[in-house]
């Protein structure tokens, strides 16, 4: 066995692990930041108690606004941490976000009366474009330096 083949066999699992970490970190950052912000707004009584619907459209727009920001940040984080092909990693994150948001929308619309249907649908429709924007912002920043 040559040294090059031996080096590749060690490098590939590391790259795979780093890819998984990059996508997981982006996904986790969006989820943790969103839930933490929700909790703060519940504690401050800006939002109704957990489990009660948010009937005021302004509250849903507030939640959507910070989720959009956090989703862009998640795309940036994934792009930044990816070991190679950052936009490919962002695409994987976008697909996972789309699937997760779709499952959440189905549950929110069909199983629970948590507020207007447009809100979870907006999360589905914005998942991919927001993470993509995060990746583009990271790519632009890298070009500046």
DSSP string covering 67-113, please?
Answer: HHHHHHHHHHHHHHH-SS-HHHHHHHHHHHHHHHHHHHHHHHHHT--
Overall average pLDDT of the 130-136 stretch: 98
Which of 47-51, 73-77, 113-117 is the least confident region?
A: 113-117
Q: What percent of the chain has pLDDT over 90?
A: 73
In the predicted structure, residue 3 carries a pLDDT above the cut 80: no
Higher pLDDT, 62 or 141: 62
Q: What percent of the chain has pLDDT over 70?
A: 92
**What was the pLDDT predicted at 1?**
46
Report pTM: 0.88
Instruction: List pLDDT tens digits, range 21-43.
Output: 999 999 999 999 999 999 999 99
Overall average pLDDT of the 113-138 stretch: 94
In the predicted structure, residue 7 carries a pLDDT above the cut 90: no
**What was the pLDDT predicted at 9?**
59
Instruction: List pLDDT tens digits, range 63-86.
Output: 999 999 999 999 999 999 999 999
Short-list 119, 122, 131, 139, CA closest to 57 = 119
CB–CB of 85/141 below 8 Å? no
Mean residue pLDDT across the chain: 91
Spatial separation of the C-alpha atoms in residues 98 and 45, rounded to whole Å: 30
In the predicted structure, residue 112 carries a pLDDT above the cut 70: no
């Amino acid at each position: 066995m040559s040294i090059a083949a031996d080096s590749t066999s060690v490098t590939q699992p590391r790259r795979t692990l780093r890819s998984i970490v990059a996508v997981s970190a982006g996904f986790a950052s969006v989820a943790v930041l969103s839930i933490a912000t929700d909790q703060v707004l519940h504690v401050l009584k800006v939002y109704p108690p957990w489990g009660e619907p948010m009937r005021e459209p302004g509250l849903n727009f507030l939640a959507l606004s910070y989720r959009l920001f956090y989703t862009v940040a998640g795309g940036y984080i994934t792009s930044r941490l990816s070991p190679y092909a950052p936009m490919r990693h962002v695409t994987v994150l976008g697909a996972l976000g789309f699937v997760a948001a779709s499952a959440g929308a189905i549950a929110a619309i069909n199983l629970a009366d948590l507020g207007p249907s447009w809100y979870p649908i907006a999360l589905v429709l914005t998942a991919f474009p927001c993470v993509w924007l995060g990746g583009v912002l990271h790519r632009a920043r890298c070009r500046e330096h």
